[in-house]
Amino acid sequence: MDILIVDDEVIIRTGLCTVIDWEELGMTLLPPAESAEEALERIPDERPDIVLTDIRMSGMDGIELAKEIKRRLPDAEIIILTGYDDFGYAQQALREGVTDYLLKTSGPEEVIKAVMKAQRNLSAKREAAKQGAVSAAALRSRLLEEWLIGGGRRSPETAAFEPVRDWLRQNGVFSTEEAGGVQPMRVLLVGASGWGDGRFSELILGSAENRMQELLPCVTLVRNQTVIVALRTEEDWPGMRSLEKALNRVREMLKCDLFAAAGNIVHSLGELPRSYEEAAKVYAYRVLFGDRGLYEMKDIKQRRGGRTVCSEKEEQELLGLLINNQATQLHAWTHRIVEEQLKDPDATPAALQAYLQSVVVVAHRWLDRNREIGTSEPAAVPIFAFEPGVRLEDELFRLLLSVMNEFHQGASDSRYSYIQRAIAYIRNHLDQQLSLQQVAGFVHLNPNHFSEVFKRETGQGYMEFVTRERMLRAGSLLLTTQKKIGEIGGEVGYEDMKYFSQQFKKIMGCTPSEYRQANVN
């Protein structure tokens, strides 16, 4: 803090300047002033925090000086030096906003106490002002956020919205008609990445926000790992070109990646929430477009949605990998199918999420089917969510790998783990020829030994078990699909429809058509 001493007596000025170690008190001593007039000339440039002035001086006195300082610097602290004869005068000064008064005969310790009191007063006022500014900033950010995200249900013309209007005007986003008409505006949603793991996510986002405030006529707020930017822009191509230049500049300065989604241009404050909604729709495509680029509504409006369910071929590929405990191949497979979906020109975030969820469901249903001979309870299928910064193929691989590990861990804990693996293999190949020798070879056992242990563990002979599994699968397909009976027979390993119907009736108690009709009705 800076202190200015004002006195027309040289001995007083010199004494106050030299007797007290102002630096020790955390003060910077300005050159003393010989008169009130000199002090007033210097105050606009030097702007002292504390003024220590005599009350009686030639020309303007200390009281008049104090009033003028308070007018120019309302927060300044003023201490009056007075003699015994001026005691009543000094008390009047206190009522005029002077902080304190001291007798000229006061020792250094009294002066120090008065100055420290002034310091505390200043610190308290500045902290209050800081808190007030923080509260005001928080209020206007909250109002803007509620208004944009709430779809503009509150009118921007209300008195309660005035802090936001002022904020937008002060930053050049919004101008009144009297100032030349309302400028084109839009909302931009920006995500930042590229500084390593999540520990730096808030830091990089805050840095990007600061740079955009410097480069664009905008106001910003951070919400859910995204910078919401309301900005003044230009129409059509010039506006997008300016935005691209600003974003590229931020990327270069911060050495990061930026994904920006722009809502359409609007021409009134009341339309800004619509621009925000459009930007949010575009921003959802970050999972498809990647972490870099500037996109608009026109970039997504032609997309109708890609596949939402994995194919039977993909299901068979996946189950084969899970059964054989092939983590490396599973990793490559997840990367391939995710990349195929990302390249689909019709893909949407909702369709992609549904597709990936279907893959996870297939894996967990397979795991549940193969828990039947164990004691484990089926686990809930995890929801495949798009988390910021998480690669889709890596997240899908993580979920599928946990299924594979759980199955093989359970199998390894079993006394006859190869029987559990054999059952899983059978259920995954019901559409193929499944000889005893083929399955025994899969688990690397002598066929005779495998047959004995299989019957002892399952309570059924090998072919009896295979036939029952085929009929159970056929029954499920009859109830859950519209496929023809001959087609279903082929999917469970029977080319002869008549023979298939005979085997189905033997196991299920009725023909396939009767089974479908009875259960549908």
Of 252, 279, 299, the last residue of a domain is: 299
Contact call for residues 188 and 261 (beta carbons, < 8 A):
yes
Instruction: Let me know whether 164 and 290 are in one domain.
Output: yes
Return the CATH number at 121.
Answer: 3.40.50.2300
Domain range enclosing 207: 159-299
Q: How far apart are CA 277 and CA 521, in angstroms?
A: 46
Residue 452 exposed, middle or buried by CB count within 10 Å (0-12, 13-18, 19+): exposed
Tokens 């009896």 label which residue? Answer: 464
Say whether pTM exceeds 0.75: no
Return the CATH number at 448.
Answer: 1.10.10.60
Two structure tokens written together for 362? 């297939």
Question: In this predicted structure, what is the pLDDT of residue 374?
Answer: 47
- Percentages helix, strand, coil for the chain, rounded to the nearest 5? 60, 10, 30
Two structure tokens written together for 363? 């894996």
* H/E segment holding residue 475: helix 462-480
Indicate whether 144 belongs to any domain. Answer: no
Q: How far apart are CA 56 and CA 86, in angstroms?
A: 9
Residue 495 exposed, middle or buried by CB count within 10 Å (0-12, 13-18, 19+): exposed
Two structure tokens written together for 501? 């119907």
Of 390, 413, 436, the last residue of a domain is: 413
* Closest listed residue to residue 50, CA positions, set 70, 78, 10: 78
Residues 6+ apart with CB under 8 A from 461: 451, 454, 455
Q: How far apart are CA 190 and CA 259, in angstroms?
A: 6
Contact call for residues 34 and 60 (beta carbons, < 8 A):
no
Instruction: Let me know whether 168 and 263 are in one domain.
Output: yes
Return the CATH number at 240.
Answer: 3.30.70.270
User: In this structure, is the dihedral angle defined by the CA atoms of residues 18, 23, 27 and 28, taken in order, positive or negative?
Assistant: positive
Instruction: Let me know whether 372 and 498 are in one domain.
Output: no
SS3 52: strand
Residues of the chain with pLDDT under 50: 178-180, 373-375
* Closest listed residue to residue 218, CA positions, set 186, 247, 192: 186
Of 265, 299, 333, the last residue of a domain is: 299
Instruction: Let me know whether 262 and 315 are in one domain.
Output: no
Indicate whether 354 belongs to any domain. Answer: yes
Question: In this predicted structure, what is the pLDDT of residue 180?
Answer: 46
Indicate whether 138 belongs to any domain. Answer: no
Indicate whether 132 belongs to any domain. Answer: no
Instruction: Let me know whether 463 and 443 are in one domain.
Output: yes
* Closest listed residue to residue 234, CA positions, set 217, 251, 257: 217
Indicate whether 496 belongs to any domain. Answer: yes
Residues 6+ apart with CB under 8 A from 109: none
Instruction: Let me know whether 287 and 191 are in one domain.
Output: yes
Q: How far apart are CA 468 and CA 90, in angstroms?
A: 107
Residues 6+ apart with CB under 8 A from 384: 353, 356, 357, 360, 395, 396, 399
Distances (CA, A) of 106 to 6, 110, 219: 16, 6, 53
Tokens 């050159």 label which residue? Answer: 31
Count how many domains the chain has.
4
Q: What is the pLDDT of residues 143-158, one digit of tens each?
A: 888 888 887 677 777 8
Tokens 């208004």 label which residue? Answer: 147
Instruction: Let me know whether 504 and 395 are in one domain.
Output: no
Instruction: Let me know whether 289 and 307 are in one domain.
Output: no
Length of the chain: 521
Q: How far apart are CA 117 and CA 100, in angstroms?
A: 9
In a 13 Å sphere around the CA of 384, the CA atoms on its Cβ side amount to 27
Q: What is the pLDDT of residues 321-347, one digit of tens each?
A: 888 778 889 999 999 999 999 999 999
| Phi and psi torsions of 48, nearest 5° | -65, 150
Two structure tokens written together for 489? 């027979």
Contact call for residues 290 and 274 (beta carbons, < 8 A):
no
SS3 445: coil
Instruction: Let me know whether 375 and 476 are in one domain.
Output: no
Contact call for residues 149 and 132 (beta carbons, < 8 A):
no
Indicate whether 268 belongs to any domain. Answer: yes
Instruction: Let me know whether 240 and 355 are in one domain.
Output: no
Question: In this predicted structure, what is the pLDDT of residue 520?
Answer: 65
Q: How far apart are CA 60 and CA 57, in angstroms?
A: 7
Indicate whether 110 belongs to any domain. Answer: yes
Instruction: Let me know whether 517 and 433 are in one domain.
Output: yes
- Report DSSP state, residue 221: E
Q: What is the pLDDT of residues 385-442, one digit of tens each?
A: 887 667 899 899 999 998 888 877 766 555 557 777 788 888 888 888 888 888 888 8
Tokens 């202190």 label which residue? Answer: 3
Indicate whether 143 belongs to any domain. Answer: no
Two structure tokens written together for 248? 């590229």
Q: In this structure, what is the dihedral angle of CA atoms 403, 408, 413, 416, given to the nearest 10 degrees? A: 130
Q: How far apart are CA 123 and CA 466, in angstroms?
A: 85
Contact call for residues 401 and 330 (beta carbons, < 8 A):
yes
Question: In this predicted structure, what is the pLDDT of residue 261?
Answer: 96
Instruction: Let me know whether 351 and 386 are in one domain.
Output: yes
Residue 299 exposed, middle or buried by CB count within 10 Å (0-12, 13-18, 19+): middle
